[in-house]
Amino acid sequence: MVAFLGANTHDKGAFTLALAVAQLNAAELEVDLVCAGPERDQLAAFLRRQPAQVRSALQGRLHLLGIVSEDDKHLLLATCDLLALPSRVDAFGIVILEAWLHGKPVIGANAGGIADLVTAEETGLLVPFGDVSALASAIGRLMTEKELAERLGTSGQQRTVHCYTWDRTYRRLLAVYSSALAEHEG
């Protein structure tokens, strides 16, 4: 199962993701997509405009949850096979860190802050924004190459624990403020 957490909009990559999953299902890989977040009506309207074969490939495989609780978000992340966030507008991608904390591999768009956060082939996979075929290929890789998926998830989890905990963030921020204060006083 592929998880998507965010606004179900074009800029967040939800439209591209749905088309990629439809492509995989048409090729009989049988992938479920669970989308949690606002704007689910935008994705539903987009899909209603798609050809019958796209809608058919997503029948029973696409689940639009809307906004979910923190508990449900973490349950989704704990039970999914991977997180896809093929967004071009994210400055950072907190949900990627949350997926990594659950040891899950991630796929992001090679755009915005996600490209700075995810190291390709080390902590996740990166694809060009809007490229349905590249995204489908990346999902297919992680769904079929279990060792790769596990390695990426573990590497992301280690990076999160070592670099992105609140304690580490606090220490780095304190160092920046201390340095700025020392320069100002000096």
B/e letters for 24-62, b = 16+ CB within 10 Å, e = fewer, are bbeeeeebbbbbbbebbebbeebbeebeeebeebbeebb
Q: Please state the three-class secondary structure of 17-86 as a single string.
A: HHHHHHHHHHCCCCCCEEEECCCHHHHHHHHHCCCHHHHHHHCCCEEEEECCCHHHHHHHHHHCCEEEEC
Supply the range of the domain harboring residue 23.
2-185
Query: What confidence tens digit (pLDDT) does each residue in 6-43 have?
Result: 999 999 999 999 999 999 999 999 999 999 999 999 99
Rounded distance between C-alpha atoms, residue 56 and residue 44, angstroms: 14
- Which residue type does 185 have? E
Q: Is 103 left (phi over 0), alpha (psi -120 to 50) or beta?
A: left
The residue length of the chain stands at 186
pLDDT score for 174: 85
Task: Report the greatest alpha carbon distance in the chain.
Answer: 69
pLDDT score for 21: 99
Given a cut of 50, the residues of the chain with pLDDT beneath it are none
**Per the structure, how many domains does the chain have?**
1
Residue whose structure tokens are 């809608």: 55
Q: In whole angstroms, how large is the CA radius of gyration of the chain?
A: 18
pLDDT score for 185: 83
pLDDT score for 159: 96
* CA atoms lying within 13 Å on the CB side of residue 174: 6
pLDDT score for 183: 87
pLDDT score for 165: 78
pLDDT score for 170: 79
- What CATH number is associated with residue 106? 3.40.50.2000
